[in-house]
């Protein structure tokens, strides 16, 4: 694999580390090639280790979009499909990811930011039984990103001065700021208390989104949003308002005066996920609230958000939240 190339863009703020991919994490540490970055504190690592226990691989949590990953030995490369804008923070160990010919390497105190639906390969470089690799992953729902961007604009924070038409970067690595690390720690703290989880987790997640938008990710996502002439925003509002309707993407496209193919392309470019995925996540999130907040059964919740098939709903729900609807609701009520 060729050497990774540094691609700084002062206007947008993203970067690709110029690190020889032939050097592993231990070699770079021995040669002093790793700059000092803030290390995740024990107050964050300890609760996650207790939550994960000795489970290997992906460990789902009750907070939507939040999960952990543990590995007691190096492994990979493994194909990964990011479904949406995603933050991945390493707590212990080290890892690299490959986006085609482009390699990004990161370690404790750094996070990988994936800017939308992407496919890449990942390899855990540093892990052992005594000190397993541990990471935190937070998938950021498109609707929360859109709401945060609107809030920043309403507050008068600076938009991109130039409309960028070149493709946005697939991902970048950045240092975790102390405010961001503090917010992530407080999000993890809500896991063991159902009331805190229901009350504070959504608020802290919004805070995390704002910290990210005020950091290196902000110019990238604002550059995407700046390409909208208003029609995509109207489409998002239409889907939010009609979450229980069995609308088609073609109907949404007609509502905003666009052809279905052009609408799908522009929507993915701006919202960072496909319109089909966006609509599905809206419906599943609403169904989850109905089950947990109003006590609806799975079939009733499915019908309330426009699902014609309960089995289709169960399959989508399990893929989104890691468990079938009834089992998921029972697990949360038991905590």
Q: Which helix (H) or strand (E) holds 280?
A: helix 275-294
Which is nearest to 291 in space by CA: 267, 323, 251, 262? 323
Overall average pLDDT of the 88-106 stretch? 92
More confident residue, 166 or 110: 110
| Mode of pairing for the β-strands spanning 110-114 and 86-92 | antiparallel
How much is the pTM? 0.68
- Domain limits, the chain: 1-227, 228-335
Phi, psi of 283 (to 5 degrees): -65, -45
Q: Which helix (H) or strand (E) holds 138?
A: strand 133-139
CA 27 – CA 283 distance, rounded (Å): 47
Which is nearest to 65 in space by CA: 268, 333, 245, 288? 288
Enter the DSSP assignment of 64.
Answer: T
Structure tokens at 87: 């933050």
Structure tokens at 166: 């070149």
Q: Does the 1-227 domain belong in CATH 3.30.1490.100? A: no
| pLDDT tier at 127, thresholds 50, 70, 90 | very high
- Helix then strand count (H, E) for the chain reads 13, 10
Least confident of 9-23, 35-49, 222-236: 9-23
Give the tens place of pLDDT for each residue, 269-292: 777 788 988 888 889 888 988 888
- Quick one: 228-335 is in which CATH superfamily? Homeodomain-like (1.10.10.60)
- Cβ atoms 293, 300 nearer than 8 A: no
pLDDT at res. 330: 80
């Amino acid at each position: 694999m060729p050497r990774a190339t540094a691609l700084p863009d002062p206007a947008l703020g993203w970067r690709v580390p110029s690190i020889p991919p032939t050097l592993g994490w231990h070699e770079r540490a021995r040669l002093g090639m790793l700059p000092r970055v803030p290390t995740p504190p024990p107050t964050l690592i300890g609760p996650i280790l207790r939550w994960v226990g000795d489970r290997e691989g992906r460990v789902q949590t009750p907070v939507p979009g939040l999960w952990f990953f543990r590995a007691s030995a190096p492994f990979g490369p493994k194909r990964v499909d990011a479904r949406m804008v995603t933050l991945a923070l390493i707590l212990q160990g080290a890892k690299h990811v490959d986006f085609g010919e482009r390699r990004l390497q990161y370690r404790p105190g750094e996070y990988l930011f994936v800017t939308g639906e992407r496919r890449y390969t990942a390899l855990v470089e540093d892990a052992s039984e005594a000190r397993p690799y541990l990471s935190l992953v937070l998938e950021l729902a498109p609707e929360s990103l859109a709401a945060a961007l609107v809030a920043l604009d309403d507050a008068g924070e600076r938009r991109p001065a130039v409309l960028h038409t070149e493709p946005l970067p697939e991902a970048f690595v950045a240092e975790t700021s102390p405010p961001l690390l503090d917010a992530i720690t407080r999000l993890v703290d809500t896991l063991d208390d159902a009331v805190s989880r229901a009350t504070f987790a959504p608020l802290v997640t919004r805070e995390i989104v704002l910290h990210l938008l005020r950091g290196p990710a902000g110019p990238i996502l604002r550059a995407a949003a700046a390409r909208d002439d208003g029609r995509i925003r109207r489409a998002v509002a239409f889907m939010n308002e009609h979450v229980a309707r069995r609308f088609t993407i073609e109907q949404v496209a007609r509502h905003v005066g666009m052809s279905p193919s052009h609408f799908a392309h522009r929507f993915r470019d701006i919202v960072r996920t496909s319109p089909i995925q966006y609509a599905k996540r809206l419906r599943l999130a609403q169904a989850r609230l109905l089950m947990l907040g109003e006590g609806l059964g799975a079939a009733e919740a499915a019908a309330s958000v426009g699902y014609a098939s309960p089995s289709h709903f169960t399959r989508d729900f399990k893929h989104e939240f890691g468990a079938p609807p009834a089992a998921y609701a029972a697990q949360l009520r038991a905590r």
